[in-house]
Amino acid sequence: MDLRTTYMGLDLANPLIVGASPLSDDVGMIRRLEDAGAGAIVMHSLFTEQLVRDQMAAHVGMDYIADSNPEGLSYFPDAEDYALGPDEYLAQIARLKEAVDVPVFGSLNGMAGGDWTRWAGLMAEAGADGLELNVYYLPLDGDESPDQVEARFLGALAQVKGHCDLPVAMKLTSFFSSPVHMARRLEAAGADALVLFNRVFQPDIDIEELEVTPALTLSDPSMLKMRLLWLAAMFGKVDIPLAASGGVHSTEDVIKAVMAGASGVQMTSALLSGGPEHLAQVLEGLEGWLVEHQYESLRQMCGSMSLLRCPDPESYERANYIRTLQRWHPRPL
Ligand SMILES: Cc1cc2nc3c(=O)[nH]c(=O)nc-3n(C[C@H](O)[C@H](O)[C@H](O)COP(=O)(O)O)c2cc1C
């Protein structure tokens, strides 16, 4: 079965991509994931706060930084909390490139444009095949207009593209007022792929201690549905490839993502809990399913259930939402 796909301008043997996570900090694990069939690897992110710390620490004491930086760096983790420091990160790119044949994508995680984007060039020099840009920004203070928020994403992308010739995938949040329009703006600004979606940090509240508590739980497949909707909406409206990230756990999830329009399908939580063996099973299941359903290639399936191609596009729209609500009958209590 021909499982090949094109993602960020690169030919991948299959669409399964190891999503950004600490898995990439371990060369042995990445080798095992490649042996299990991974089509590409996204590295754990390099966070801008690490880079700002490093640069400023070279000139002045850290106490000064914590007090003077407008982003309040004192709230951010200490340098030793990050698995890999900036230089170590670049060295890890080189180690992974040496260890595996599949494409290795670096990941930059920041809030907007700035000097940190020059690390894109350093990642390129270290051998990365591409970059994932995660502009993690939540406009919590409400002072910026949607256009200003979008400008942060576009600005960061333009700066990263200015620093390297690598293909760049934008990892998006789902919080844009008009996600398809934003996808088009990113494509026009030079994005080589879009990743739907980043998982936004959702802290919990401790009601006794009156504290906001960090909560990182692994995903479950229910998260996938929102990705399917926007993949289906974006497919064919932009010419760059789309990748799913969030809630992909099984072979069925991969098939749904590809049918909705994904050329790449990232898995993180499922691999953090199931390891390379799980990836191998999902891949085997995908191949078996395509054969059984008489597909000739994965590409034939891509976007078949998108808004443009599915037999009943209205099923994605408001009428179906209303129908679903009206057909819900509460059970007698
Ligand atoms: C432990 C952990 C670490 C992660 N680290 C990163 C990261 O460094 N950069 C990033 O862009 N996403 C990171 N993510 C988010 C994942 O790449 C992915 O987008 C998210 O977990 C949703 O996919 P999933 O449902 O397959 O887990 C991390 C997720 C987990 C669970």
Over the chain, what is the mean pLDDT?
89
Alpha helices in 293-317 (DSSP H): 298-301
Closest ligand 1 atom, residue 19 Cα:
17
Q: Which residues line ligand 1 (CB under 6 A)?
A: 19-22, 44-45, 107, 109, 134, 171, 198-199, 218-219, 223, 245-248, 267-270, 272
- Report pLDDT digits (tens) over 251-279: 999 999 999 999 999 999 999 999 999 99
Residue 94: the pLDDT is 97
- pLDDT beyond 50 at 66: no
- pLDDT beyond 90 at 83: no
pTM of the model: 0.91
**Could you tell me whether strands 10-12 and 5-7 are parallel, antiparallel, or unpaired per DSSP bridges?**
antiparallel
- Report pLDDT digits (tens) over 186-237: 999 999 999 999 987 788 899 999 999 887 889 999 999 999 999 999 999 9
* Reported confidence tier of residue 80, pLDDT bands at 50, 70, 90: low
* Reported confidence tier of residue 65, pLDDT bands at 50, 70, 90: very low
Mean per-residue pLDDT for 80-96? Answer: 86
| Burial grade of 204 (CB within 10 A; 0-12, 13-18, 19 or more) | exposed
User: Rounded to the nearest whole angstrom, what is the distance from the C-alpha of residue 199 to the centroid of ligand 1?
Assistant: 7
- Report pLDDT digits (tens) over 11-21: 999 999 999 99
Domain positions in the chain are: 5-44+83-307
User: Rounded to the nearest whole angstrom, what is the distance from the C-alpha of residue 136 to the centroid of ligand 1?
Assistant: 12
Residue % of the chain over a pLDDT of 90: 72
Residue 55: the pLDDT is 56
Measured distance CA(4)–CA(64) in Å, rounded: 52
- Report pLDDT digits (tens) over 287-321: 999 999 999 999 999 999 999 998 888 888 777 77
The DSSP-derived string for 178-201 is SHHHHHHHHHHTT-SEEEE-----
* Reported confidence tier of residue 73, pLDDT bands at 50, 70, 90: very low
* Reported confidence tier of residue 79, pLDDT bands at 50, 70, 90: low
Give the CATH H-level superfamily of domain 5-44+83-307: Aldolase class I (3.20.20.70)
* Residue whose CA lies nearest to ligand 1 atom number 4: 21
